[in-house]
Each structure stands twice: as structure tokens, then as C-alpha cells.
Amino acid sequence: MAEVTRSDVLLEVATSKFPVTLEEARQQLTSVSFGPTIEEEDLEPLGFVKVHPTEVPEGDVVEEVAPVQAEDGKWYRTYTVRGFTPEEIEEKQELFRGEYVKELEQAVEKQLEVGMPFQHEGATYHIQLRTKDQINLLAIAKKASLAVAARGEDSMITIRPYENVDLEMSAAAADDLTNLALVTMEEVYKKIWALKDQIYAAQTEEELPEIPSNFFA
């Protein structure tokens, strides 16, 4: 028989207690003295047997049960395999859906923080489209409307994009830009809602939709 070491797992035969370490067995066997290892044939008369490893099967739910003694007289680790219950499937679906919705929202937040790209005097800038930015967009639109009414379409106003610089543009251009931004924001949120519908309808992780790298495309 083989040597039993600290890394092995044991079974206490009389009580069916499992797993037991060699150190735990030593603490129970106060009247017996042995070193850091012991031979299997010396351990068995003391009420403990080594439980030999077996290949862990694959399956939805794999659970270890009490060791089984085989025809060769040795004890082996034993497992059962079963499929997920309907409740477990639902719980698993809720978990991966919830995690993916968070991933989607984080991706959206990053893109909306940078915002919609636009051109001004040959350079590319971005106007932010987070929910809280809607107030700023409406304020710019109102400011542009008042400027046009007071001084005409060629009157100039200042806006500040994501790049944190002051941009001078005509009130009419600013009005067009903010209107486009508000429409774009609505379109982006429509895409988000559609993606969330697909996520909550997904039965498996393979059915989850891809999160766009650019919601403004």
C-alpha cells in the first residue's frame, strides 16, 4: 500500500466523516504516535482510510458525495452529476443578464461623456450627451434662439465642447448643433433600449448582443 501524507484526504470509517486530514486524525489518535506520514496499512487499523482521487466529471452541477469502496478494497472520491433545475437556470440567466446590462451602461456612459462628434472650422470636437448634459443643450438652444431674435442669425455665441475649449459660432449654427445633439441623444437611447430588450430576452450568454464600440455610427 501507498504512503499517506498531509496532502491526502481521509475517511473516518466508523462515523463516515469526510474529508479528514492526516493532522485531524493525529489529533484524535492521542494514544498513537506517528510521523508526518504513515503507511495505509498502518492507518486502517486506527479507523481511518485514505480516499484516492478520481477524475471529476463534467456537467452543469457536479457534487461530491460520500466516498465509495471499490472491488480492490480502496476508497475513492465519488461525484454525482445533474443538469440545472429550472430555478437554477433562471437564477443563472438573471445573473449574466444583470452583469451584461452593467457592462452596457458603463460603455454607454463612457461614450456619452465624450459625446457626439461635430466639425467646426476644419477640426473635430465633441458635444457631451449624458442625461445631465441635456439641460446644458437646452440652455444653449435657448441662448441661440434669443440671440437670433435680438441680433439676427449671424450673431455669435460661445459653446464649450468636451475638449474644454471656447468655440465661437453663429447662433444659427449653435441652434442647429444643439438640435442635432438632442435628436442624436434620443436615437442613442433608442439603441440602448433595444439592446436591453435583447439582453433580457437572451436565454444563454451566447445570445447576448454585441455592445457597439460607437453608438454614434
List beta partners, residue 168: 158
Instruction: Give pLDDT, residue 67.
Output: 96
Check residue 103 and give its pLDDT. 96
Higher pLDDT, 125 or 147: 125
What is the Cα–Cα distance from 200 to 55, expressed in whole angstroms?
A: 37
pLDDT tens digits, one per residue of 49-81: 999 999 999 999 999 999 999 999 999 999 999
pLDDT at residue 71 in the model:
94
Tell me what pLDDT residue 151 has: 82
144-149: long-range contacts (C-beta < 8 A, 24 or more apart)?
A: 144/171, 144/172, 144/174, 144/175, 144/178, 145/171, 145/175, 147/171, 148/172, 148/175
CB–CB of 152/201 below 8 Å? no
Amino acid, res. 73:
G
Separation of alpha carbons 197 and 179, rounded Å: 27
Q: pLDDT tens across 134-143, in order?
A: 888 888 888 8
Separation of alpha carbons 44 and 75, rounded Å: 11
Confidence of residue 153 (pLDDT cuts 50, 70, 90): confident
pLDDT tens, position by position, 12-62: 999 999 999 999 999 999 888 888 899 999 899 999 999 999 999 999 999
pLDDT, average across residues 3-8: 91
Say whether 63 sits in a helix, a strand or coil: strand
- Specify the pLDDT at position 188: 93
The DSSP element (H or E) to which 167 belongs, if any, is strand 167-170
| pLDDT for 1 | 61
Please state the rounded mean pLDDT for residues 171-192.
91
